[in-house]
Each structure stands twice: as structure tokens, then as C-alpha cells.
Structure 1
Amino acid sequence: MMRILSCLILSVAYFTPAKAQKVTPLWQDFITAKAQGKTPILPDFSYAGYHFSEKEIPSLSGKQVFNVLDFGAKPNDNLYDDDAIQKTIDAAEKNADGGVVFFPAGKFLLAKDNDSTKQIRISKSNIILKGSGSGLGGTEIYQDKMRINGRQILFKPAANAQNRLTAITKNAERESFWVEVENTASLKIGMDVVLKHRSEEFTKLYFSPLELKPQWTRLFGKDGGMLINEIHTIEKIEGNRVKFKNPIHFDLILVKSAPFELLNYNSIEECGIEDIRFTSNWKTYPEAFVHHKNAIHDYAYEAVGMEYVKNSWVRNCEFQDWNEGLFIRSGYQVSILNVNSTGKKGHASVHARTGYGVLIKNCNFNDAQHHGAGTGYSAVNTVITQCTLGTDQNIDIHSGQPFATLYDDIQGGVFYNLGGPEPGHPHHAKYLVLWNFRHQSAKEQHYNFWDLVRRRNYSIALPFLAGFQSNGKVTFENVGINESQGHEVLPRSLFEAQLQLRLTGKNIAE
């Protein structure tokens, strides 16, 4: 099934009649392989989102509420509320079960100076920032002064040191769940671990037979290589064999130069943000956004960071007039739902890196940032589904070899001007899947997905396309699989179909 398609050309419209829809061979292969216990061509992307989408995000009823007004915050008074909001969060963190940090309707003002080290900081589990709605008449949190390289609100544990627990002793197949280890003395059921590896030797095996460009210098040398950083939860231990709850998304082949190891994963969990409109003074900065012009255009006015968070979420929020909206680092089972990006154009919207199972669903990016939602730097199983991008707004595959990424049932967007420095290329490793992607560009586009000549575009290892559609002519080189170009395929959403198959056994494409 793995094959290279050279320069496939087709011009199509956005929508096709229902009679043109058909179940793709890729989906049929997935169904058959799962039934027979074999390895499917497609990754199983269903292990994404809050509790791997097996549970609903909880109701906040019954949780203790900490109202920011009770700690000195006052909306609509043109005075800064940073200290009062932090005091409210600190009080919630002292409560054994955490709590809801509640913002009534009105505008709350942050950032009275340019000190980027000053942040609203959440460092413990079970803290939810809850507003009174993200629309007009709801809650607005506004960053006033410019801060560069400092996210205004940051969820991050106070300490997150990683320690080696054991090493892998046997090869494991992609999409499998079991690994064999040296010993299990430091492991226990329910523990979260990081499967980690980096070596030039494995990198060359992984990408073979694709040629690697010498300018991709982070792949080479004693300390170089593609970084494997998969997060897993231990579900079962039998002797020296360990079963993960979520699948491995690469063929684990032992090499002599460096071990594959399990390390501990420390996080805060059950944290969230709901029903808030975040705004900033980026809208009054006198220059229009220019990609990589300077530090201001790249890193000023950054709204929210979530680092080393598990089973957490952002939902029903708006990010208006930001250079960067939401940054997620080492997130595990995180849901970003019903989020809108609007206002003055900036750099990045929602970016997930170095984690596993971040779900970005039902979000609208509206060309408000240069980069639409995306991933980078060893992130795995990132799912962007049922979202809208603008015309010629690029998806964000930001170098550092993320792998097993799904863009699913997407309206709008393009694949050029991908991010990241050249030493950190390729942009994406194997198993980027573009499923029912409705490409929208003002110009004709040609994508060579393994271009060793041009500096920025493109270096994606043999992506899979199913149901690719466009509003103009789009041509491809170095595609892994391209099924039904020009026609919507079934299932319409690969993520929803894989999730229903896993949870209920039902094939919704039938």
C-alpha cells in the first residue's frame, strides 16, 4: 500500500454530490486490520483529547468557587488586576480539591509593565479559570503592555524533573501496545511514562530510503537525531512486559548507539479554561504583522501557555488581537474545543509540541494568525479536526519531526510557508494524514513534499491524503498515498470514525 505518486494533477470544487462519496481503501484496511489484529496503514488517532475522548469534560457544579472580586479584582475600572487574580488562584491551589477561579462579566486588565517574567501562574492540579461568556457582555481579560517571550497566563507544574526508569530490550511494531523492558521495579500500573530516544543511527533507519539533507544538522552527530518523546500510560505489567493504554506510533527498532528508555512524566491535571475572551493591545501596535521581522512580530503578546498538563482543556473561548493565542508543550490528553481566533493578524494560533494526544476540534482560525493550528518538535497523535482556516492561511507543522498528525475534515488552509529553522527540519516525520482537507488558495499550488533544494518548503515524509479537495489546481510530488483526490470520502471524519470503532465497535462509514 505504501507507494509514491508522482505529480498527480487535478482541479476540483469544494463540495461533491453525496453519490460521489465513497469509503476509502485506507478506511477499509483500518477496519480489516483491527478485526484481524494486524497493523493498519493508518495510525489510530482516536487516542486524543481529554481522557482520550472516553469521558466528557466534567461539569463544574459542586466545585468550590473562588471569585476574583473577593480578592480585589474589579472589572471595567482601568486598574490592573494581576495581583488580585494571582491571589485568587493561590487560594484555590491551597484548597485540597482545587477549585473554580471565577470571573464575572466585565473587562479585567493585566500587564502594567513590559516585564515578561511576570505571569499569572497556575502550578497545581484541578484549577479551572471560568468566565461568564466569551462574547460581548461576557468576560474579557486584556493584556495592556507589550511583553516579549512571556505567555501572560501559564499552567505549568512547579517541578517536572524526569528520571530514567528502565530501558526497552526488544523491538516493537508501530500501532502496538506492548514493550519489553530490563526490569519493572520502578514501574506501576497507572503510571505515566515517556518513551524516549535520540540517535542518528535510528533516524537514518526511520527515514530510509528518503535522503536526509546535510543542512538538517540536528539529525546528525553524537547528540543528534530525531527526538522520540512519546507519552504513555501503563495499563498492565506481566513479568518484564509492559502494556500501554495508547499505541506506539513508530516502529521501535533497537540500535547500538543509544537506548530506548522509559522516563517518568510529571504533570498537573484536570485544569481548564472556559468561557473567556482574551484580548490584547497588539491591535494598536503601529505595524502590520510581518513573519519573522523581529522579536516583536514573532514573540510579543502571547496569551496562554499550558505545559506538562494532562487531562485538561480549553473550551468556548476567543483569542482576539494576539500574536500568539495558545501554546501547549508536553500536553497529554488535552482538548481544545470551540475556540475562535479573531482580530489583528499575528504569528501563531494554537500550537502543540512534544506531547501526545492533543485534540483541536471545532475551532475557527479565520486568518487571524499567520499559522493556523498545528504541531512540532516530536509531538505525536495531534488531531486537528472539524476546523476552519482562512484562504492561504498555512497549517503549522513547525519542524522538529512531529509524527502521526491528523488534519481531519478541514475547511480552508494551505501547506506552504511551514515554520521552523532549517537545522530542525524535516518539518514532519511519517504519518501526516490529510483527510477530507478542503484546500483554499488564491493561486495554483504545487507541493513537493520532500524537497531537498528549497530551504523552507517542503520536508514532510510521504504524507497520506484521502479526499483532498481544492478551489483551484493543486499538484503533488512525493506523496505516500493519495486516494480520491477531488471527492469527499467516507467516513467524513477519520477521528470520529476511529473513536466510535474503538469505543463501540461500530463502523459509522457503513
Structure 2
Amino acid sequence: MDLTRRGLLAAGGALAFTAAAGAAPARAGTLWQSDLVRYDRRGRLVYTADAEGNRVPDFSHAGYRGGERPIPHVRVVKVIRPVEGDNTAHVQAALDEVAALPRQRRGALLLSPGLYPVAGTLYVRADGLVLRGAGDGADPAANTIIKATGNTPKDRNVIVVGGVSGGGWRGEVPGTRTDIMSDFVQVGARQFQVADPGALRAGHNVVITHPCTEEWLKAIDHGGHDVGPPWKVGEHPLSFNRYITDVSGNVVTVDVPLYNHLNRAHSTSFLYTWDRAGLVTEVGVERLRVDIEYTGDPEQDENHAYNAIYLLRCEDAWVRDCTALHFTQAGFATQETTRATIQNCRAVDPVSIVTGSRRYNFNTYTYSQQILFKDCYAYKARHAFVSNGHSTVSGIVFLRGVAEHALNSSEGHRRWSQGLLFDGHRDLDPHYDYTLGLYNRGRYGTSHGWSAAHSVAWNCDVSTSKLIVQKPPTAQNYAIGCRGTITGDGPFAQPAGHIEGANRPGLLPPSLYQAQFFDRHR
């Protein structure tokens, strides 16, 4: 394809999109495209697969409503001010009052500027309920500050958005389970054949499962580590939370691509309609500051709250314009959550021992899918932007994240997280040998092994540090157009992943997520 200005304009306005995506285009003569994702002559994205069928997947469905709608501005239905002493019961009573309203009358509880000492946990646990402050700055005269006090119960969350932990997506509607009959469903695909489509309808929320069999474990070298507890049969099934968009004969189409191959030679996959028990939807937290109180050495004290804001068992949720400080593990975390956006948030100054299970400033835990972290900032993290789940985590986008003074790497952390996209990630003043990783973690932690598969670092800058990208068996990882030391040489020897255009300016498109989003909505 001609990469002159005339050629790009003829190819569907790619330069116009580059500008619209918020990045100043390089001079026309320096623009280049990946061999794996590129614009065709009609200005549409086309993808190239390797001999194993691996290809860069479409990440554009991440975030609130899968990107189909912007985050709403929910009307205020109640306003409160802080009271003397512990405000836990005061704020929770107001939240529960709004939650008790009929669904169509619910909205935002607005916390007026001030300091709200909170010794317990605040729960945002009804559909359509939003907790909103006046701002996330440090001055209580103009901002809303949740001051998390004490450590009772030990290691608590300060704000929980959603329901209670429900063991994943195990609620199976009776009579809906059916096997997937396609021999090989390629990563990035949305269609497959099933044995019995009779109970399936467009609009059904389904869970697709690729069981963790001995054959699959053999194919992935049992996780790729030779010491520590082995990965066990049944321990790490691949799970995908999806909606059916069409049933035609025995062919089912779902709304979001799959982020791993489904190979019947390794395991017979199946799907069922999920009962969605305990799921909370259309919930959010906005414009407030969670400041966790501590008294000791910031690299030793752990006698305080553990996580600041936790999304749990929810769908179509959001957190925006918030700051979290002095947590042990995470400023912002997700679990059993799909289609959520965490936007323009800051997770800074964690207070903990600098060791495992701490300082995961932006953290996706188990059963987290289609999560968009957009324009977020982490300071003094061990793992600033991380998938700390395992094979139930996929479709996670870290868009324009900034990690400053990183003490370890942003990464897929353990046991076959899939479909992670680091897009425009930047490391400032890194304090570790490598600060971005799509690689094998071997014996680290609980035999983490292959920590990421079918994952991409696109147009990232690790500064004076390293980006490690390695190829898992049956899958691939990619580093395209990234800056810094880009290498396949990790702490555990494995084949290098796909490295393309290292330290070469002018990558087109500058943002993979935004290009895919634009392409899907043309």
C-alpha cells in the first residue's frame, strides 16, 4: 500500500483518523503499518494470521456497554454532607435510600465537598445507582474525600461496586448446555457450530467454556515451568462471557470475539445460558478521592484498608475521575465484572511491604472481561496495570496508561490471561529492569508460567527499561511499534514473540484500540 499522503487519503481517510485519534501524525514519509494489522485500499483494517492461526484480535468491545454507548451522566436524586465521626452508616443509609427507589427513579447520590471518615465499607449494590463526589482533589473545601480509617475488618475494601462474589459465571440455566462442534475456532472468531441450538436465542447471555484437560495442558507445556506445583486438570478452564447475536441453523454468532483458540483436539468446548444471579448493572463511582489512613512506614505498614474501589459481580459499570491513595493491593480492581470502564483515574502512593500480592494499582482479578482502563495513572506500583486473574480474564485494554516510578512490570501476571492490549502505555522514571511483560513467569508466585496469550503491546514506550514479549505454545504475543529495549529475553527462556518496528516512529494507526473501534462503527 502506498504510504504517501495521497495514498493514505485514497485508502479511506487513515490520516484523518490518525488526527481524530488524538495523535499528531508523523510526516507522511515516515508512516508505516504492521504486517499483521493494516489498512486496505478501502481504509478498512485487515488482519494476517500465522501458520498456527494466531492473529491479533479485535479489542474494540472493551468498556461500558462494549463501547456502543458513552458513559451516562446520571441525574442526582439525593445530596448529603459529612457528619461528625464515622460516616459509614450515614453514607450507606443514603445509598440504600436511593437503591430502594423504583428502578426508573434511581440515580446518583451526591456527596458534597468535605471529609468523610469511613471505618467500614460502602456498597453501591443496586442497578442504576451511582456514588458521585464533587471532585478528587486534596482540598476538602472543594472536593469529596473518603478517609478510610482503621483496619476492621482486616484487609477490607473501602468501596464495593456491584454484588457479592458468586463463584464466577456458574449459574447454568437448565436445558441450555450444548457442545461446540467446530473442530477449530480461531482466536478472534465470533461464529461456531453447536450440537443443539434449540434452547438458544439472540440476546441470551451465554458462557463459553473450554475445559482444562490433560490434552490442553500438554499442548501448552503444562504452563511452561519445570519447578513448583504443576497446573492441574480442571484448574484453568478458558471462560468467555458473551451475548448471542444470531442463531442460524446450528451456527451461533456472539457479540465479542474469542481471545483464544477453541481446539477440539485439546478439549471439547461447550456453552450454556447464564442465569445472571446476583449481577448488578449500570452502576458507577465518580469524582471522589479515597485516602486510606496509615500511621507507619509507607514501605512496611499494612494495618489499614486493602483496596480502595472494587468492582464485583457487575456489568456495564464505570469509575471515572477518581483518585485512590495508600492502598495495600489495588486502587482500582475488578472481579466477576464485564463491560466496565475505569477512566481518568489515579492510583498513587501505595503503602505496603514491597512484595507479592501488593501494589497492583490497576488490577483485573478473576472473571474480568472486556474492561477498559483509559487515561489512568499509577505511581510507585509493583504491577501498575495488571491481569492478576488467570484463564478467566480476557479482552482487557489498557489505553494510554502511565506508570511512574514502577518497581516491577505491568503485565499478564499468571496462568494464561488472554487478550490483553497495552495501547500507548508509557513508563516514566522506571525503577526495574523490565516494566512491561507478555511472557512466561515460570516458577514465580504460584507457578505463574504463561501469564499472557494472544496479547499485544502497541505503540508503547518503556523508557530506559525493557518490554519482554515471548511466544506461548499454541498462541502468540506481540510488540508492535514499541520503544525502549524490546526483547524476547525474559527471566525464563522461551521463544521470542512477534516483535515488529521496535524504536521506529510513525506507526499507523497510532492506537490499535481506537482504530478497531472506528473500523467497527463505520
Is the structural similarity TM-score above 0.5? Answer: yes
Deviation at 1:257, TM superposition (A): 6.3
In the TM superposition, 1:93-242 aligns within 5 A as 93-97=99-103, 98-111=106-119, 118-135=120-137, 136=139, 137-147=142-152, 148-157=154-163, 160=166, 162-163=171-172, 165-171=176-182, 172-204=185-217, 207=220, 212-215=224-227, 217=229, 219-221=231-233, 223-224=234-235, 226-242=236-252
Residue type matched to 2:322 in 1?
C
Change (3 A) 1:277 1:265: farther
Deviation at 1:25, TM superposition (A): 1.7
| 439, 444, 447: which one aligns with 2:462 | 439
Question: Does the residue aligned with 1:57 lie in a helix, a strand or coil?
Answer: coil
Deviation at 1:501, TM superposition (A): 0.7
Partner of 1:456 in structure 2? Answer: none
Q: Deviations over 1:5-29 (max 9, x none)?
A: xxxxxxxxxx997454422222228
Q: Deviations over 1:116-157 (max 9, x none)?
A: xx5222332111111111123211111011243321211232
Query: Which has the higher mean CA deviation after the structures are superposed, 354-363 or 18-27?
Result: 18-27
Find the aligned partners of 2:125 and 2:220 in 1 and give their Cα distance.
38
Residue type matched to 1:189 in 2?
A
Alignment of 1:481 onto 2:481: no
Alignment of 1:409 onto 2:424: yes
Find the aligned partners of 1:460 and 1:396 in 2 and give their Cα distance.
20
Change (3 A) 1:100 1:409: same
Change (3 A) 1:139 1:183: same
| Maintained 8 Å contact 1:363/1:388 | yes
Question: Does the residue aligned with 1:377 lie in a helix, a strand or coil?
Answer: coil
Find the aligned partners of 2:496 and 2:266 in 1 and give their Cα distance.
31
| Maintained 8 Å contact 1:374/1:384 | no
Alignment of 1:275 onto 2:296: no
Find the aligned partners of 2:469 and 2:258 in 1 and give their Cα distance.
28
Find the aligned partners of 1:173 and 1:46 in 2 and give their Cα distance.
18
Partner of 1:501 in structure 2? Answer: 519
| Maintained 8 Å contact 1:351/1:396 | no
| Maintained 8 Å contact 1:199/1:258 | no
Change (3 A) 1:240 1:216: farther
Partner of 2:342 in structure 1? Answer: 336
Structure number with higher relative contact order (C-alpha < 8 Å, ≥ 6 residues apart) = 1
Find the aligned partners of 1:362 and 1:256 in 2 and give their Cα distance.
39
Change (3 A) 1:140 1:167: same
Residue type matched to 2:370 in 1?
G
Alignment of 1:53 onto 2:67: yes
Deviation at 1:244, TM superposition (A): 0.5
Question: Does the residue aligned with 1:145 lie in a helix, a strand or coil?
Answer: coil
| Maintained 8 Å contact 2:290/2:325 | yes
Question: Does the residue aligned with 1:109 lie in a helix, a strand or coil?
Answer: strand
Deviation at 1:435, TM superposition (A): 0.7
| Maintained 8 Å contact 1:276/1:318 | yes
Find the aligned partners of 1:419 and 1:338 in 2 and give their Cα distance.
34
Alignment of 1:26 onto 2:36: yes
Partner of 2:90 in structure 1? Answer: 84
| Maintained 8 Å contact 1:427/1:460 | no
Change (3 A) 1:287 1:132: closer
Residue type matched to 1:278 in 2?
V
Find the aligned partners of 2:517 and 2:74 in 1 and give their Cα distance.
25
Question: Does the residue aligned with 1:486 lie in a helix, a strand or coil?
Answer: coil
Question: Does the residue aligned with 2:93 lie in a helix, a strand or coil?
Answer: helix
Residue type matched to 1:406 in 2?
L
Find the aligned partners of 1:36 and 1:462 in 2 and give their Cα distance.
14
TM-score by length of 1: 0.80
Q: Deviations over 1:40-95 (max 9, x none)?
A: 8211011111111121111223xx512234xxx42xx4x10101111111111111
| Maintained 8 Å contact 2:62/2:397 | yes
Partner of 1:288 in structure 2? Answer: 299
Deviation at 1:285, TM superposition (A): 2.6
Find the aligned partners of 1:37 and 1:486 in 2 and give their Cα distance.
22
Q: Deviations over 1:356-375 (max 9, x none)?
A: 210001111133x3220121
Change (3 A) 1:37 1:211: closer
Alignment of 1:366 onto 2:379: yes
Deviation at 1:175, TM superposition (A): 1.6
Residue type matched to 2:379 in 1?
N
Find the aligned partners of 1:255 and 1:273 in 2 and give their Cα distance.
45
Change (3 A) 1:265 1:42: farther
Partner of 2:320 in structure 1? Answer: 315
Q: Deviations over 1:344-393 (max 9, x none)?
A: 555121111322210001111133x3220121322111000111111444
| Maintained 8 Å contact 2:122/2:158 | yes
Change (3 A) 1:419 1:476: closer
| Maintained 8 Å contact 1:396/1:419 | no
| Maintained 8 Å contact 2:162/2:281 | no
Partner of 2:398 in structure 1? Answer: 384
Which ranges in structure 1 are unaligned for 5 or more consecutive residues?
1-14, 112-117, 291-295, 452-458, 505-510
Find the aligned partners of 1:219 and 1:391 in 2 and give their Cα distance.
33
Q: Figure out how many residues of one structure are paired with residues of the other and give that number.
A: 454
| Maintained 8 Å contact 1:43/1:175 | yes
Question: Does the residue aligned with 1:248 lie in a helix, a strand or coil?
Answer: coil
Question: Does the residue aligned with 1:250 lie in a helix, a strand or coil?
Answer: coil
Find the aligned partners of 1:246 and 1:50 in 2 and give their Cα distance.
13
| 251, 261, 278: which one aligns with 1:251 | 261
Compute the RMSD of aligned alpha carbons.
Answer: 3.3
Question: Does the residue aligned with 1:382 lie in a helix, a strand or coil?
Answer: strand
Partner of 2:15 in structure 1? Answer: none
Residue type matched to 2:323 in 1?
E
| Aligned sequence identity (%) | 18
Residue type matched to 2:114 in 1?
G
Question: Does the residue aligned with 2:361 lie in a helix, a strand or coil?
Answer: strand
Change (3 A) 1:179 1:263: same
